[in-house]
Amino acid sequence: MRLMLVFLFLFAVNYVHAGTFYNDPAGREFNAAYDRFSEDSLKDLSGDDKHLRQCLLGVLYVNGDQEFNVRKDCRKAVSLLQKAWQANVVDAGFTLATMYYDGVCLDKDLDKARGLATDTAEDGYILSQRMLGRAYLGRSWKGLYPKNMEKAVFWLSKAADAGDAQSAGALSAIYRTGIGVAVDEKNLFIGLRSQHFQNTSQTR
């Protein structure tokens, strides 16, 4: 199994947003995308889908990958991902946000992480929406945003509505406990139903 950063991803092929290639929060489709390419074809950064390959190859350079004969190279990783992001590949923007947050191949920079996370969340990227929701909830991504339950619910709802079971589960817990919000049995049921549907779909 190829090495991938735990926080990195991602996605099912989705051209609803022109700049988003994968938007599956479980990450299965992103990993499966590599099966479409040989080493030579992935490294050939020409053609109509070159920005997709820039993103995929950039991710490999973060850790290195034996299957594609890629050694860890932060300079190449950052360069490829930035080029993909400049070409409006939202997937690459999210990846760069996590890299800035954790200081991986880039100096840790919460302002840049925050900007990228917000931009990609507004573009409809599910993992960015979950990221913002959990950051505002104060459960993870510490220091990215101050705790704000209204904004946490807003972004978790966006992600849950787009099919993220984790965000649906977090919403259910929020409405069940009533911490920071009023206890809401209707929203609790909706969240639990969404989470159950997603978990069932993922096991098929």
Report residue 174: phi and psi, to 5°: -65, -45
Residue 182: which pLDDT band, with cuts at 50, 70 and 90? low
The Cα–Cα gap between 80 and 183 comes to 46
Written as six digits, the tokens of 148 are 């704000």
The domain boundary residue, chosen from 93, 124, 155: 124
144 shares a domain with 120: no
11 shares a domain with 103: yes
The 8-class DSSP code of residue 158 comes to: H
pTM beyond 0.85: the answer is: no
204 shares a domain with 112: no
Question: What digits encode the pLDDT tens for the residues 39-94?
Answer: 999 999 998 889 999 999 999 999 999 999 999 999 999 999 999 999 999 999 99
The Cα–Cα gap between 127 and 24 comes to 8
- Domain enclosing residue 133, as ranges: 126-204
- Would you say residue 183 has pLDDT above 80? no
pLDDT at 27: 80
140 shares a domain with 80: no
Mean pLDDT across 133-150: 93
pLDDT at 5: 41
156 shares a domain with 58: no
167 shares a domain with 117: no
96 shares a domain with 184: no
pLDDT at 189: 43
Mean pLDDT across 23-28: 84
Our CA dihedral for 61, 63, 64, 66, rounded to 10 degrees, sits at: -140
pLDDT at 175: 81
Report residue 169: phi and psi, to 5°: -65, -40
| Count of structural domains, the chain | 2
